Structure 1
């Protein structure tokens, strides 16, 4: 952390006020049915702490036995979303997140190039753009394309100030969709959909924005990959409590088709984020000790707290390289080892009134 002791003390006071009544107030009531298919045959998939920031609380992911959709239940409410996102992508977490994004240039290039066999983008809207790192890289591959970013946070304005995007839209995508209709022939959502309260509403918003023949590119974690099965709650892509939904690839394909979007291509290995074992080891070690200076800890750090943290860092010296070695040697041999996937879908041309999708006569709705 680069904050001063005085700043950390002020943040600690603010966080402790938020936590005075515990963390239960950050959760909605548990729902009895699957938000994807409506089935009531649910089972607990795993419980997890906040491995990223180590804020207090325990979070449950449930799995639908019928459609296999995985979702946070009970889910964070509006206050919980504000609390657990605070200082994650901005504030205390801004510099580390920026550094992480700066290392993903090759992945960004792969996302942008996925469209090359199918279309030449004229105007591209990146939803959940953050600080615009993807658009900044994609501009080098598509120099004639204009790029816009949309995000709830202030980072989208910073992205425009840097010149990494041409236009900035701040707010909720479903709320803004009607003002963006047919302005963009490509919409992308990279590791965005799993964060949303209502992913179907986000897909519907994309379908409204895109013109006929436009493309939607989605990249999300794959909850059915080998790392998720082997590492359990220590798999890096569960990202609790920020990830509210996790999508088996078949479910996402069905949702796209139901909203008039046909599947053009699917990529698994090229979407792989890597480092499952390394990050799993890091999460395991974080259960021993976290940075005691974090302002949401219950008291100012003591000598004992610092000693525990130092001991955890010493344990990390052999554990993290071992995890990295497993990622390099063992992980590529596992079936379905990619921890993410991409889907490119196209919006079907509008059908003439009175015809079905195959061109046969269709009676009007009465």
Structure 2
């Protein structure tokens, strides 16, 4: 049975500065979760911007069709590891963290860079399976989540006993104020990211902080894999950022003390998943949906290459990190 087509709407101009865009990648398909359609990504022509966006894009009413087989639940991804791949990854992953000097960065990443912040009230926007919230709760934070997926929200409540608001963030009218709001790989999914950050600003206490992670369009992975880069993920990623555009967005939303940087800590997953359609067909991955030893080794090699590149180019990390403060 063919999936139902996704209704689209034009998005010809840059969301941040209104400039026209040039085609960056065309005829993209969803190789991860099988959403229908072919998609085009454009990049802003302005040298002071560089935002990347989907044009045309799914309408707000129809974008749910792109998530029908999406992972937000217990398992860490759509594809599962073979037994041999699990053994190899269990050996190589901790070894690579130590040898590449990523142990401290990985600890900070897991606590979403709030490791030096005194615990208080924390909200995670798009909390998914709740693992991060549970980790932050163990670190002393009073946590709550927001989620639009009812299955994910129910799972977090049942598994961890954490309160989750089901529905759009802007419907949290009586919530807050929070000391910290976090979101990991959420901002790229929304039609109006500025409105989302403005809502976060409203929900924060004065001097409260927002921390967000999102794919970095200036990353080594994007330069290496091009249209096959895992971070593109059409048609779910509507806007894609770099340090410059992410900073501009936060400042437009009213935040101050904005800091942005990149991190290579997630390069393993990017290397494992950034494969062309030809590679997928050659290795029968489209049929089996399994992560093999070959995939694990690919991810390990890319983690090494990306980490070495990062030593000389701090803008090359696979993810942008932003921390900003509500100053008024």
Structure 1 length-normalised TM: 0.72
- Specify the structure having the higher radius of gyration (Cα): 1
Structure 2 SS opposite 1:238: coil
Q: Which has the higher helix share?
A: 1
Partner of 2:175: 180
Partner of 2:97: none
| C-alpha distance 317-343 of structure 1, shift in aligned 2 (>3 A) | closer
| C-alpha distance 116-147 of structure 1, shift in aligned 2 (>3 A) | same
Query: In the TM superposition, what is the alpha-carbon distance from 1:325 to its structure 2 partner?
Result: 4.5
Counterparts in 2 of 1:236-247, with a 5 A limit?
236-247=230-241
Q: Is the 8 A contact 1:212 1:347 kept in 2?
A: yes
Query: In the TM superposition, what is the alpha-carbon distance from 1:168 to its structure 2 partner?
Result: 1.2
Structure 2 SS opposite 1:341: strand
Structure 2 SS opposite 1:216: strand
CA-to-partner distance for each residue in 1:224-276, whole Å, 9 max, x for gaps? 11110110111111111111110121121122123331235434226534343
Partner of 1:228: 222
Q: Is the 8 A contact 1:88 1:94 kept in 2?
A: no
Query: In the TM superposition, what is the alpha-carbon distance from 1:62 to its structure 2 partner?
Result: 0.8
Structure 2 SS opposite 1:162: helix
Unpaired runs of at least 5, structure 1:
1-11, 293-308, 351-366
Q: Is the 8 A contact 1:61 1:71 kept in 2?
A: yes
Q: Which has the higher strand share?
A: 2
Q: How many residues end up aligned between the 2 structures?
A: 299
Unpaired runs of at least 5, structure 2:
81-89, 94-102
Partner of 1:362: none
Partner of 1:53: 33
Partner of 1:332: 307
Q: Is the 8 A contact 1:34 1:69 kept in 2?
A: yes
Query: In the TM superposition, what is the alpha-carbon distance from 1:28 to its structure 2 partner?
Result: 2.4
Partner of 1:151: 147
Q: Is the 8 A contact 1:271 1:342 kept in 2?
A: no
| C-alpha distance 330-152 of structure 1, shift in aligned 2 (>3 A) | same
* Larger relative contact order (Cα-Cα within 8 Å, sequence gap ≥ 6): 2
Query: In the TM superposition, what is the alpha-carbon distance from 1:97 to its structure 2 partner?
Result: 3.2
